[in-house]
Amino acid sequence: MMKTEQDFAKKITGYLDDGAADLKAGTAYRLQLARQEALARLADPRRAAELRTAHAFAGGGTAGGGRSLWTSGKLWLGILLIAAVGLGFQQWQAYQQLADVEETDAAILSSDLPIDAYLDRGFQNWLRHASDD
């Protein structure tokens, strides 16, 4: 390396050190891991794969700009939306069943059948059979 390149490298290193002095500890650690991985790729491609695997097991696997998948607000919003739609559909079905039963009861009670017809065993069986259809 020539003398001017060494001076240039020292200046760049100084600027980078000044900029890194104000970083949070977690950010500095992630930068350190990235630097180690980059240097490992240059030296040995198999070592780089090991570092990536270790980084992923240490919680480095992220989605969406550095946040883990389970802390993503979009994921929880989606899960909440799906649960709300499912609950709403179930409630709508229950309401429809109740409305059908009320309509059947109102039709039976408003008809001109005598009270003895309601007490007849055959009529009750017919009602059960008719409601199954």
Where does the pLDDT of residue 116 fall: very low under 50, low under 70, confident under 90, or very high at 90 and above?
Answer: confident
Q: What is the pLDDT of residues 30-62, one digit of tens each?
A: 888 887 877 777 777 666 566 666 666 655 545
Percentage of the residues of the chain whose pLDDT score is greater than 70? 81
CB contact at 8 A, 55 and 37: yes
pLDDT of residue 30: 85
Residue 28 CA to residue 23 CA, distance in Å, equals 6
pLDDT of residue 59: 54
Where does the pLDDT of residue 63 fall: very low under 50, low under 70, confident under 90, or very high at 90 and above?
Answer: very low
Tell me how crowded residue 120 is: count the other CB atoms within 10 A of its CB.
12
pLDDT of residue 128: 78
- The closest alpha carbon to 35, from 22, 21, 16, belongs to 16
pLDDT of residue 48: 57
pLDDT of residue 60: 52
pLDDT of residue 82: 97
pLDDT of residue 117: 75
- How does DSSP classify residue 23? S
